[in-house]
Amino acid sequence: MQITTRFSIKLLICFSFVIFSQGLNAQDCPTITSEGIFDPNSDVLITSYHQSMAKTSTNIVAWGEDMTANGTTDATSITEVIPGNGYNYTGTPIHFGVSGNTGGQAFLATTTSLYAWGLSGEVVDGSFVSGNAFNDMNATQTLPFTAANITQIHASSDVLFVLASGQVWVATTGTTAPNGNASGNGNIWHQVQTSAGNALNNVVEVTGNKYAGYAMLNDGSLYAWGDAVELGNGGGTQNLDYATQMTAPPVPVTQISAFTHNDGDTGLLALGSDTKIYGVGANTLGELITTGTGNVNTWTAIQAAGGGDFVGVIQLSTSHTSEEWAGASAITAGPTSSDPNLLYTWGLNNTNSLGHGANGTVDDPTIPASFNVGVDDPVFASVGGHATTFFNRANGGSICFVGHISNGSTGGLTTGDGSTFECVIPATVELCGFVTPIAANNDSGSVNEGIGGIAIANVLANDDLDGNTPTTSNVILSQISTSNPGVTLNTATGAVNVTSAVPTGTYVVEYQICESAVPTNCKIAFATVIVLPDNDADGIIDEDDLDDDNDGILDTDELGIMDCTTGVTPVFGAAQGPNNYLGSDINNPQVGDAFLYIGVYSGVDAIITIVSSTDTAITELDVTSTGIDDNFQPLINHNDSDSYTEFRIDFVLTGTNTPAPETNFILTTIDNDVEEFVTYKDGYLLGLYVDTPTDELVHTGTATENGFSNGYESNGNVFGGIGLDSPQFQVAAAYSFVNSVSFRFGSNGGDNSNHSITLLPCIPRDYWVTTPNFYVDIDTDGDGIPNRFDTDSDGDGCFDALEGDGGITLAQVNGTTGQINGSVDANGVPDLVSGGQGDVSSTDDTILGPLCAIDAVADDYSASPVNGFAGGSTTTVLGNDTLNGVAVVPADITLTPGTAPSPASGSITMNADGTITVAPGTTAGTYTYDYTICENLNPANCDTATVTVVVAPAPIDAVADDYSTSPVNGFAGG
Largest CA distance in the chain: 180
Distance CA 330, CA 365 (A): 8
Contact call for residues 106 and 114 (beta carbons, < 8 A): no
Same structural domain for residues 372 and 474?
no
Domain end, chosen from 365, 400, 426, is at 426
Cα four-point dihedral sign 936, 937, 938, 941: negative
Tell me if 240 sits within 8 A of 679, measured CB to CB: no
Q: Residue 151: which residues within 8 A CB-CB, separation 6 or more?
A: 21, 22, 23, 95, 163, 164, 165, 166, 204
Is 432 contained in some domain? no
Which helix (H) or strand (E) segment holds residue 555: the answer is: helix 555-558
**Whole-angstrom distance, CA of residue 46 vs CA of residue 467:** 24
Phi-psi region of 931 (alpha: psi -120 to 50; beta: other; left: phi over 0): beta
Count the Cβ atoms, other than its own, within 10 Å of residue 450. 18
Same domain (yes/no): 442, 328: no
CA–CA separation, 206 and 165 (whole Å): 13
Q: Is residue 710 part of a domain?
A: yes
Angle at 592 between CA 614 and CA 640, to 5 degrees: 10
Report the DSSP pairing between strands 159-164 and 167-172: antiparallel
Give yes or no: residues 724 and 869 share one domain.
no
Q: Are strands 942-952 and 866-867 parallel, antiparallel or unpaired?
A: parallel
Phi/psi-derived region of residue 352, left when phi > 0, alpha when psi is between -120 and 50, beta in every other case: left
Please give the DSSP secondary-structure letter assigned to residue 556.
H
Q: Alpha-carbon distance 797 to 778, whole Å?
A: 18
Same domain, 452 and 502: yes
Collapse the DSSP code of 461 into the 3-class scheme (helix H, G, I; strand E, B; otherwise coil) and give the result: helix
* Same domain? 469 vs 356: no
Structural domain contains residue 822: no
- pLDDT recorded at residue 765: 59
- DSSP of 670-728, one letter per residue? E---TTEEEEE-S--SSS-EE-SS-SEEE--SGGGSSS--EEEEE-S---SSS-SS-GG
Q: What is the distance between the alpha carbons of residues 182 and 440, in angstroms, rounded to a whole number?
A: 47
Nearest-angstrom CA–CA distance, 486 and 493: 17
CA atoms within 13 A on the CB side of 133: 5
**Last residue of a domain, which of 362, 393, 426?**
426
Angle at 221 between CA 216 and CA 223, to 5 degrees: 60
Are residues 155 and 7 located together in one domain of the fold?
yes
Using only the alpha carbons of the chain, give its radius of gyration: 42
pLDDT of res. 534: 92
For residue 246, the domain's CATH number is 2.130.10.30
Instruction: Check whether residue 609 and residue 716 sit in a common domain.
Output: yes
**168 and 298, same domain (yes or no):** yes
Does residue 386 share a domain with residue 445? no
Domain end call among 772, 795, 815: 772
Tell me how far apart the alpha carbons of residues 282 and 289 are, in angstroms, rounded to a whole number.
Answer: 8
Q: Is the pTM of this model over 0.85?
A: no
Cβ proximity of 109 and 128 under 8 Å: no
Give me the phi and psi of 701, to 5 degrees please.
145, -175
Residue 909's CB is within 10 A of a number of other CB atoms, namely 14
User: Is 491 part of any domain?
Assistant: yes
DSSP 589-635: --TT-EEEEEEEETTEEEEEEEEEE-SSEEEESS--SSS-TTSB--E
**Which has the closest alpha carbon to 347: 291, 306, 296?**
291
> How far is 686 from 187, CA to CA, in rounded Å?
57
Classify residue 680: in a domain, yes or no: yes
Return the pLDDT at 17. 32
Quote the number of domains for the chain.
Answer: 4
| Residue 243, in any domain of the structure | yes
**Beta carbons within 10 angstroms of residue 936's beta carbon:** 13
Same domain for 358 and 502, yes or no, is no
Same domain, 209 and 250: yes
Instruction: Give residue 427's pLDDT.
Output: 54
pLDDT mean by block of 10 residues, the chain; 974 residues: 36 37 49 73 85 82 96 93 96 93 96 97 97 98 94 95 96 90 94 96 95 96 97 94 97 96 93 97 92 93 94 95 94 89 96 94 95 92 93 80 94 91 69 68 92 96 88 96 97 97 93 89 91 91 91 93 84 95 93 96 97 92 87 92 95 96 92 88 90 91 90 84 75 94 91 88 73 89 93 91 91 91 95 94 87 88 92 94 86 94 94 95 94 86 92 85 84 82
User: Domain containing 766: what range?
Assistant: 579-772
- Residues 113, 117, 122, 125, Cα dihedral to 10°: 60
Q: Does residue 594 sit in the same domain as residue 520?
A: no
| CB-side neighbour CA atoms (13 Å) of 335 | 3
Q: Is residue 549 part of a domain?
A: no
Look at residue 607 and tell me if it is in a domain: yes
Distances (CA, A) of 553 to 287, 542, 791, 792, 830: 79, 14, 10, 12, 9
